[in-house]
Structure 1
Amino acid sequence: MALETWLAFFVACWIISLSPGAGAIASMASGLQYGFSRGYWTALGLQLGLLLQIAIVAAGVGAVLATSALAFTLIKWFGVLYLLYLALRQWQAPPAPVLDERAPRPTGRPLSLVLRGLLINVSNPKAVVFMLAVLPQFINPAQPLLPQYGVMALTMVGVDLVVMAGYTGLAAKVLRLLRSPGQQRLVNRSFAGLFAGAAGLLALVKRSST
C-alpha cells in the first residue's frame, strides 16, 4: 500500500471511529460502571468484532450480506434485540456511590465484557456493508490483497483502540464525580436511553439504503 493511500485511510479511520455509535456508547457505559482498567475490556471485544467484519469483507462474504435481504434482516434484528437487552441491563444497574478514589467499584468479568463488545460490532450488518463499500477504495488490485487488508485491519484497530480508550477513560473520570445513588441512577438511565436509541436507529436501517 502506497504511503499516500495509507495516510488517506488513516484519516478516514479517525473520522469513522470518532463518529458516535453503539460502540462508543458501550465503551462509555463500561467505563462509567467499572472504571477504565476493567471497562476497557469492552473496547477489546469491539476490536475482535471489527477484525471479524474486515475478515468477512476480505473473504467476499460481505457481498453476500449486501445482496441477501434475509441475512441482512436476521443480523439486523439480532442487533436491535441485543441493544435493547443492554438498555434494560443499564437501566436496572444498581447505583454504586463513589465517596473517594479509593472506594470500590463494581467488578465485571473480562470475558463477559469482551463478549459484549464483540456482539455489538458483529450484530451490525450496516457496518459490514459500509466496509464493503469503503475498504476496496483503498485496495490496489494489482498487488497482493491479504497484506493490504492486514495493514488496514491493524490501522483501524489501532485507531479505534485509542478512540475507545478516550471514551472509556472519560466516562471513568466522570464516575469519580458522582456522589449519590440518585446521580448514578440518572446517568445509568441516560445510557440506557442511548442504547435504546441506537437500537431504534438500527431498526430503521434498510438494505436498499446502503
Structure 2
Amino acid sequence: MDFSVWIAFFAASWAISLSPGAGAVAAMSAGLAHGFRHGYFMTLGLVLGIWTQIVVVGVGLGALIATSSLAFAVVKWAGVAYLLYLGVRQWRAPAAPLVSDEAQAGVVAVPRRKLVLRGWMVNAVNPKGTVFLLAVVPQFLDLARPLGGQYLVIAATLGFTDLVVMAGYTALAARLLRTLRSARQMQALNRTFGALFVFVAMLLATFKRAG
C-alpha cells in the first residue's frame, strides 16, 4: 500500500471510529460501570471484533453475507439479540453509587476476559460492519500487489484509531463516576445506556442488505 493511499485510509479510519454506534455505547457503558483501567478491556474486545470482520471480508465470507439473504439475516438477528441482551442487562444493573476508582474497589469486578468477549461480540456479530468494510476497504487495495500485507496494514490502522477513540469514550464515561452521589443517579445512567443499546439494536434491525 502506497503511503499516500495509507494516509487517505488513516483519515477514513478516524471517521469510522468516531462515528456513533454499538462500539461507542459499549465503551462508554464499560467506563461507567468499571472505571477506565478495567473498562478499557472492552475496547480490546471491540478491536478484536473489527479484526474478525476484516478476516471475514478478506477470505470472502463478507461477500457471502452481503449477497446471501439467509446468511445476512442469521448474522443480523444474532447481533440484534446480543445488543438487546446488553441493553436489558444494563437497564437492570444494580444502582450502586460509585464516586471514585477507590469506591469502585468494593464492587464485584467483571473478569477482564468477559469484558473482552463482550466487546468482541458487539463488533464481530454485526453485518452492518461487514457490508461497510466491503464498501470501504476495496477502495484502498492495490489488486496488483499481494493482499495479505495490505489487509494487515488496514487491520493495524483501524485497530490503532479504535484504541484511541474508544479510550476517549471510556474515559469520558469513567469521569462520570466522580459525579455520582446517589443510587438514583446511577440507576438513571444505567437505564440511559441500556436504552442506548436497545436503540442501536433497533437501528441494526432496520438495516437491509444492499440489492
Q: Distance in 2 between matches of 1:136 and 1:96?
A: 47
Equivalence for 2:9: 9
Partner of 1:141: helix, strand, or coil?
Answer: coil
Distance 2:101 2:56 in 1: 43
**Corresponding residue for 1:120?**
122
CA 1:101–1:117 in 2, change beyond 3 Å: closer, same or farther? closer
Runs of 4+ in 1 over 4 A off after TM superposition: none
TM-score, with length taken from structure 1? 0.97
Q: Distance in 2 between matches of 1:203 and 1:3?
A: 38
Residue 40 of structure 2 is matched in structure 1 by: 40
Give the deviation of 1:104 after TM superposition.
2.6
Q: Which amino acid aligns with 2:12?
A: A
Cα 1:60–1:100 shift into 2, 3 Å: closer
Give the Å deviation of 1:101: 5.0
Aligned to 1:183: 185
Matched with 1:159 is 161
Does the alignment pair 1:31 with 2:31? yes
Counterparts of 1:179 and 1:101 in 2: how far apart (Å)?
14
C-alpha distance in structure 2 between counterparts of 1:164 and 1:99, whole Å: 22
The one-letter code of the counterpart of 1:10 is: F
Residues in 2 aligned to 1:198 and 1:109: alpha-carbon distance in whole angstroms: 25
CA shift digits 1:154-195 (9 cap, x unpaired): 000000000000000110011111110000100100001100
SS for the counterpart of 2:20 is coil
Instruction: Name the % identity.
Output: 54
Q: Provide the C-alpha distance between the structure 1 equivalents of 2:100 and 2:194, rounded to a whole number of angstroms.
A: 25
Secondary structure at the residue paired with 1:20?
coil
Alpha-carbon distance between aligned partners in 1 of 2:177 and 2:95, rounded to the nearest angstrom: 11
TM, length-normalised to structure 2: 0.96
In 1, the alpha carbon distance for the partners of 2:208 and 2:15 equals 23
**CA deviation digits over 1:53-91, x for unaligned, max 9?**
001111111111111000000111011111111011001
Which deviations, in whole Å up to 9, do the C-alpha atoms of 1:21-54 show, x marking residues without a partner?
0000000000000001111111100111110100
Gaps of 5+ in 2: none
Residue 88 of structure 1 aligns with which residue?
A: 88
Tell me by how many angstroms 1:99 deviates.
4.3
In structure 2, the partner of 1:132 is 134
CA–CA distance in structure 2, aligned partners of residues 35 and 101 of structure 1: 6
Q: CA RMSD in A?
A: 1.1
One-letter code of the match for 1:128? T
Name structure 1 gaps, 5 residues minimum: none
1:196 alignment counterpart: 198
8 Å contact kept, 2:66–2:210: no
